[in-house]
Amino acid sequence: MRFLELLAPARNADIGIAAIRCGADAVYMAGPSFGARQAAGNSMEDVGKVCEEARRFGARVFLTLNTILFDEEIEEAHSILQEAKRIGVDAVIAQDPVVWTLSEIPVHASTQCAVRTPGKARMYESLGASRIVLEREMSLEQIRAVREAVRCELEFFVHGALCVCYSGQCYLSESLTGRSANRGSCAQACRSLYDLVDEKGRTLVKDKALLSLKDYNLLGRLEDLADAGICSFKIEGRLKNITYVRNVVRAYSQALDALVESHPDKYRRVSSGKVSGGFRPDLGKTFNRDYTELFLDGKRGRWSSMDAPKSMGEEIGTVESIEYGRKGETIVTVRLAGQGTTLSNGDGFSFCAKGRSGIIGFRGDVCQGRRIFCKDVPGLHRGAKLFRNLDSAFEKETSVNLPQRLIPVRTCLTITGAAGGWTIAATARSEDGRTVSCEIASDAPAASNTQRMEGMFRSQLGKVSDCFSFILEDIVVRTDGGSLPLVSASVLNGLRRDLAGKLSSFPCNSIPLAGRKQTETSPADISIPYNEINDGERRLDGDLSYKANVANRKTEELYRRMGASTVDPAYEISHEKGAELMRTRYCIRYELGLCPVHQGAEHSGKLYLTNNGRRFALGFDCAKCEMTVKEAES
């Protein structure tokens, strides 16, 4: 039996709790510092609240502590890790190897560790990683190769925004703005607008988000990933709102449930509780830049969202006319794309204007049938394709029509005694294996209608209390003539609530998490695949380049004990001249039909990206089918 986990993002405690209630088996969130998303920090008290909710269902909470750490920050990081252990955090997600030396709870190797090869996976497993979060740009074949190389758990992103660069090795934001992705303050340079210029100075493309990718959506590929060895399916989005998280979690939870139901002897969910009812999830309703499966099948495709680096939303129709009302309001009439499309007050709309780059958005103050009443919208024109990127009716639905997560509990009653002296004993066993008992005495008379009384027992002891859904499986009657006591519904409800209270006093039984792997070898015995760590940037055997992201003395010492002869400081410290700022599977030449290998195009010569006076040289490593970005020499 293999256990599968749906892992959801949480910007704050409310979103974390909502994710669990919508079906997440685990939640990842930041503490007060070092969480790789500066805008998504939380107090440890709030992390503790999510831990409490998770315990009800055997779900887990992972703390993100995945920035690179400077020397003066290690003591604070250690304190956060100690507090995480105290409040019951299940694991920490880390990039900097120093965290493995500080943590007393399991450590997962973050996607920022840029693990996409068996050699690098073995290195992190040797360090002590109980789980490795793989790069998003991998194929199923590459995932299988890593699975065969290590024994630790493997996690893979299945939904959300995609970094164009290999994770943890993007330095473009730092180069442009001084805001480091490895320090949690990425300026999202990949979503900025660039011109593409050739070596003769000709502008081939102007004002396009040439490095922006579509969003990941592997909803239909969960079984393929599970077969390849993935146990945890991760949703991106620690900066997303609660509607996004509820919607995406519900959609993927339903898909995982279907996978488990189709293979009951092979898979099961790692936490407990059945989620039912509530809103109907729709991945087209929440933030996306259109969707892609990227390189999962080992094939290159069109992955760019260069025309729409923000969320366009769902296409709803075409602008038919634009008029102006007496009060100065703009009245837009739309030819709707589908018969079932309805517009609601407060909907958000977007379009691409003629001769202008990027997306323009506006809010529909009042929507009546096909007409949208709004403020003046510069650039909106007749014939424009109109999209809805905020569906106010759906937003409301996801906030009021919530699903319910309940743990099935099977109950057995044993009734003994006679009129005036009954004993009603109840035993309850939850889905996760908790067993409790309660017993009440009653001096009630015997019921004149035994069949009706039995129905009362089954009805009142087959309801919901707290997070438990009770099912009365059996009634054992040891009385004269099979008589039953005439007890009230309130007595039986009280018995059910007592059982629920006793069950709640124990944490849900969890499937054991892979513990902190204590290697039998010392760091000096670990063989480092230097070319894997540096991703081809090895200059001399035993040297580590800036791509190892070493920012503190303890991590440098750790690598040296492993045998590294030289360790270069992280780019954030050295700002190494001529450094490769980005390496990616994505290729601008391919996206534009200029690839000489796959598309038979003529060689375009040297190409450059320009942005606000800055010039970056594009490189094309056709042997690896990868593109690089470096600051161009002046």
- Share of residues in the chain with pLDDT > 70 (%): 95
Rounded to whole angstroms, the Cα distance separating 430 from 495 reads 16
What does each C-alpha distance from 117 to 145, 168, 532 come to in angstroms? Answer: 8, 15, 7
pLDDT at position 517, please?
Answer: 45
Reference 186, options 207, 206, 161, 208; nearest CA is 161
φ, ψ at 6 (rounded to 5°): -100, 120
Helix axes 242-262, 392-400, angle to 10 degrees: 70
Reference 319, options 386, 235, 405; nearest CA is 386
pLDDT at position 164, please?
Answer: 96
> Two tokens at 538?
């090895």
pLDDT at position 521, please?
Answer: 43
Least confident of 55-59, 214-218, 411-415, 514-518: 514-518
pLDDT at position 520, please?
Answer: 41
In this predicted structure, the answer to whether residue 519 has a pLDDT above a threshold of 50 is no
Rounded to whole angstroms, the Cα distance separating 42 from 109 reads 21
pLDDT at position 535, please?
Answer: 58
What pLDDT band is residue 352 in, cutting at 50, 70 and 90? confident
Question: What pTM was estimated for this model as a whole?
Answer: 0.94
What pLDDT band is residue 540 in, cutting at 50, 70 and 90? very low
Only one residue has tokens 């998490």, namely 513
Least confident of 10-19, 300-309, 533-542: 533-542
Work out the average pLDDT over 82-105: 97
Reference 504, options 142, 29, 56, 133; nearest CA is 56
Strands 194-198 and 232-235: unpaired
pLDDT in tens, 133-158: 999 999 999 999 999 999 999 999 99
Least confident of 109-123, 314-328, 509-523: 509-523
Strands 314-324 and 330-336: antiparallel
In this predicted structure, the answer to whether residue 536 has a pLDDT above a threshold of 60 is no
Work out the average pLDDT over 430-445: 95
What pLDDT band is residue 541 in, cutting at 50, 70 and 90? low
The contacts of residue 584 (CB under 8 Å, 6+ apart) are 137, 164, 165, 166, 626, 627, 628, 629
pLDDT at position 512, please?
Answer: 79
> Two tokens at 68?
């690179």
Q: Give the Cα-Cα-Cα angle 512, 99, 66 (nearest 5 degrees).
A: 90
What pLDDT band is residue 203 in, cutting at 50, 70 and 90? very high
Rounded to whole angstroms, the Cα distance separating 512 from 523 reads 27
In this predicted structure, the answer to whether residue 528 has a pLDDT above a threshold of 60 is no
Task: Say if CB 37 and CB 163 are below 8 A apart.
Answer: no
Work out the average pLDDT over 380-398: 95
Q: Which residues pair with 274 in a beta bridge?
A: 406
Task: Say if CB 153 and CB 231 are below 8 A apart.
Answer: yes
Reference 620, options 606, 634, 610, 631; nearest CA is 606
Rounded to whole angstroms, the Cα distance separating 69 from 552 reads 6
In this predicted structure, the answer to whether residue 558 has a pLDDT above a threshold of 80 is yes
